[in-house]
Structure 1
Amino acid sequence: MIGSLNSVRTLLLAIFVLMAGSGFLSTLIAIRLEQAGQGALLIGLVATSYFGGLTLGALRVSPLIARVGHIRAFAAFVSFYSASSLTYAIIDTPALWVVLRFADGFAMSGVFVCLESWLNRTARPDNRSAILAAYMIALYAGQAVGQFLLNLGDQSPALPFMASAVLLSLSVLPVVLTKIAQPVLEEVAPFSLKRLYDASPLGVVGTLSNGVMLGAFYALGAVFVQRMGLPLSQVALFTSCVISGGVVLQYPLGRLSDRFDRRRVIIVCMGVTAALCGALAFVQEPAAIFLVGALFGGFSFALYPLCVAHSNDHLDESERVGASSGLVLLYSVGAAGGPMLGSVAMATLGPPGLFGSIGVVALGGALFGIWRMAVSQPVPEAEQQDFQSLPRTTPMAAVLEDEGEG
């Protein structure tokens, strides 16, 4: 496997460094707003702005990248993000932060499109799965490791933002110095959401629900931990545990879904997520919070690729890329709404309201899945597609995964 990754090692290094520098910013910004006495509603609005930018970017950045090329576009997006991260340390005006987070989301979408289309251009049929797996590892490992940069705030409030800017700037180097040929952007054909729902109602509802759940977590998970009385160092550990749990359990749950009716696995993941949210709303001991948080990440992070796989089971091969791109956008829309739902719940019910609201969404998804099992027949096991872990980034990841099935 290692040898098959030599052709993309510079891109994987860039992804890891980029995520280490950017993956903790949503946590850091939520903490700073909380420390400044801002309410959960404003914190949720700032997070919603980021996911809104991410959603718009997934729809609009491709023409810009095609016009100036991948290297210039990547450098421009990351340079803006680096400058933005320093601006948070200089100007602490919440209204400006809302605007900056929207622009950050747009820029991050451009970064993902650049990198994922590049990986797709470089991958061959014999190493495509290995490259997708390595991409997932680099993405989430960078995000998990970066959480510990939050602890730099104990030394100086501006230091975490400065560290973010340094890492973001360094992530440009492997890309601008690479010898890998720049790709031509893949055109992802639009896919009717009505056709997608008709083909796989549970895939659509599950993906949208998962976006709401994880959007709320990324926006307010750190605020929840702080309001539970845990110090900053344990906030970073909690977030890292959730992300790490999501990486560890995703593949085993996916393989389990290959052997049984995939709807059952989705329903179980939804139900277990709801139960874990109930536990997080009431546990007090730090060790219990970290353990339950890791399990929450494991079952909730698995839902998106499970829903994509379930949708693909009902579609022709020629439809899967367009459908997967539609599911990415549905997830992003849900993620944009999740922070506001979570913030309203926290403002009304206090810290337990965050995971209480996430749990209600998960329970609703489980009940919808049970209804679907009652009114429709399962896909025969022989016709189910193999599960493939997927990042919740842009439609370009769907191109990479789909071509790997050929």
Structure 2
Amino acid sequence: MIKMLSGVWALLLGIVLIMLGNGMHFTLIGLRGGIEGYTSTELAVVTSGYFLGFLSGARGTPLMIQRVGHVRVFAALGSFMSAGLIALPLLTEPWAWTLLRVLVGFCMSGIYVAAESWLNAAATNDTRGKVLSAYMIAQTLGIIGAQGLLTLGDAGTSALFICASILVSVSFAPILLSATVVPAVEVARPMPLRALFKGSPLGTVGIFLLGSVYATQSGMGAVFGTKIGMSPSQIALFVAMLFAGALVLQYPIGWLSDRIDRRKLILGLAALGGAACVLGWLTGGALWLLMAAAFLAGGVTTPLYALFLAYTNDSLSASDMPAASGGLVFTFGLGAIVGPLVTGWAMQRLDPFAFWPVLGLTFAAIALYARYRMTQRSVTPVDATESYLNVLPTASPVAVEAAGDWAQEQAEAGREAEAT
């Protein structure tokens, strides 16, 4: 492990710093939006703007890299993102925030593509699984750590936004100074949604609904906290708990996924997420019950993403997997755009606690559709499935394809070992 980390530590350090800045700005949107008096619907539009930009960046960045070069694109996107973060407290209008969030989302997606390309090039077939796992842990720790930084300043001033911008700017130094090899970026053209649905209905529908869940949690969680009167430190802890659950539960769920019918696991996790949302709805604002609900609801979301990727790959041929990965990332992005809009509308028209029923109903839809699909297709034998893909919902198609290749190699190696 030490030898593996020695070759990629600078890249991982850069990722942690990026996630510190990006994680701060996500929660700051809810905090500052509450101070400015924005409605839940306005903040939902701002949140969806980020995911619209993120989806566009995932598709456009590889083309930009091919035209003007890897390093130039990476540096340009970093500069624009840093500028966008600084501009947020200067242009405190919902329409301006929406445009800036589209810009930040586009840049962040492109940064992921570039950084993950370098990370993938630095890994070997033997170390790729460990490198991807370390990368995902670095991302999650960065997001959680960002919430702690929010307690050091006042969201009503520009200081925390400037801090987020500085972290993003500084993060590029270790990455650019360590990444000496400029890798080629070739992302497969996403599979059309009709073909993707035909190959894996549960994977397609499930990951769309999960995109809605993830964007609502990460983008509207701070808005919910603001609207029910949480203090800034409580909001930061609430958002941190959404991601801490994923950090704790990812590996046990991954271990289970390679040993039982993945549809049953998807059904069980979605049911657990729905139950957590019921708990959050019934708490009446009790702080530690809200934290427990956030831990469980957030804790199943990231593993479900990896499960849907693995389950979809189980249903496809090896040649279709790269295109399917791109299609799933695109489908997830569509759900991420829609989810906050529905949640924001419900929170404004009904009550801020509508945050929980919307999430709960989405989890319930995933569980019910998984149960339905179990009656439509026979179970794939465990020894014929691909390995669990340890990737986060924020991963670009580069990391998803790399994880898919690694999972396929691991599964084939395991089957060969059993045959001998």
TM-score (norm 1): 0.97
Q: Is the 8 A contact 1:309 1:387 kept in 2?
A: yes
Q: Is the 8 A contact 1:120 1:399 kept in 2?
A: no
Residue of structure 2 in register with 1:83 after alignment: 83
1:116 aligns to what SS in structure 2? helix
Segments of 5+ residues of structure 2 without an aligned counterpart are: 410-420
State the 1:93 CA deviation: 2.0
Query: 1:136, CA displacement in angstroms?
Result: 0.1
C-alpha displacement at 1:122, in angstroms? 1.7
1:56-94 CA distances to partner (integer Å, 9 max, x unpaired)? 111111121222322221111111111111111222122
Q: Which moved more, 1:329-338 or 1:63-72?
A: 63-72
Judge conservation of contact 1:282–1:352 (CA < 8 Å) in 2: no
Q: Which piece of structure 1 moves more, 41-50 or 82-91? A: 82-91
Superposition map of 1:50-199 within 5 A = 50-154=50-154, 157-199=157-199
Secondary structure at 2:153's aligned position in 1? helix
Contact map agreement 2:200 2:315 (CA 8 A) in 1? yes
Please give the secondary structure, in 1, of the residue aligned with 2:297: helix
Q: Which letter does structure 2 place at the counterpart of 1:153?
A: G
Alignment of 1:161-310 (within 5 A): 161-283=161-283, 284-310=285-311
Q: Between the two proteins, what is the percent identity of the paired residues?
A: 35
* 1:395 equivalent among 394, 397, 420: 397
SS at match of 1:45: helix
CA contact (8 A) 2:154 2:160 kept: no
Partners in 1 of 2:20 and 2:124 — Cα distance?
A: 28
Deviates more, 1:10-19 or 1:59-68: 59-68
- Tell me, in whole angstroms, the C-alpha distance in 1 between the residues paired with 2:126 and 2:361: 42
Whether 1:323 and 2:332 are equivalent positions in the alignment is no
Q: Hey, what's the Cα distance between the residues in 1 that align with 2:30 and 2:161? A: 13
Amino acid at match of 1:162: I
CA contact (8 A) 2:202 2:373 kept: yes
C-alpha contact 1:309 1:385 (8 A) present in aligned 2: yes
Aligned to 2:21: 21
Distance 1:318 1:182 in 2: 26
- 1:177 partner letter: L
User: What amino acid sits opposite 2:340 in the alignment?
Assistant: P
What's 1:383 paired with? 384
Q: Deviations over 1:93-116 (max 9, x none)?
A: 221111110011111111011011
CA contact (8 A) 2:217 2:298 kept: no
C-alpha root-mean-square deviation of aligned residues, in Å?
Answer: 1.4
In structure 1, how many angstroms separate the alpha carbons of the residues matched to 2:250 and 2:232?
A: 28
Deviations along 1:264-314, one digit per CA (max 9) or x if unpaired, are 000111111111111111212211211221111111221110000110111
**How far has the Cα of 1:37 moved from its partner?**
1.3
Deviation at 1:180, TM superposition (A): 2.6
Q: Distance in 2 between matches of 1:403 and 1:268?
A: 27
Distance in 2, matches of 1:389 and 1:12, equals 16
CA contact (8 A) 2:212 2:338 kept: yes
**SS of the residue 2:88 aligns to:** helix
8 Å contact kept, 1:119–1:400 = no
Q: Distance in 2 between matches of 1:327 and 1:342?
A: 22
Structure 1: 5+ residue stretches without partners: none
Report the equivalent of 2:418: none
Q: 1:204 to 1:40 in 2, by over 3 A?
A: same
Tell me if structure 1 keeps the 8 A contact 2:271–2:367.
Answer: yes
Residues 125, 403 of structure 1: 8 Å contact kept: no
Q: Residues 204 and 358 from structure 1, CA distance in 2 versus in 1: closer, same or farther, beyond 3 angstroms? A: same
The number of equivalent residue pairs is 406
How far residue 140 of structure 1 moved from its aligned partner, in angstroms, is 1.0
In 2, the alpha carbon distance for the partners of 1:189 and 1:106 equals 18
Contact 2:118 2:179 in 1 (8 A): no
Structure-2 separation of matches of 1:322 and 1:23: 29
1:281–1:351 CA contact under 8 A, matched in 2: no
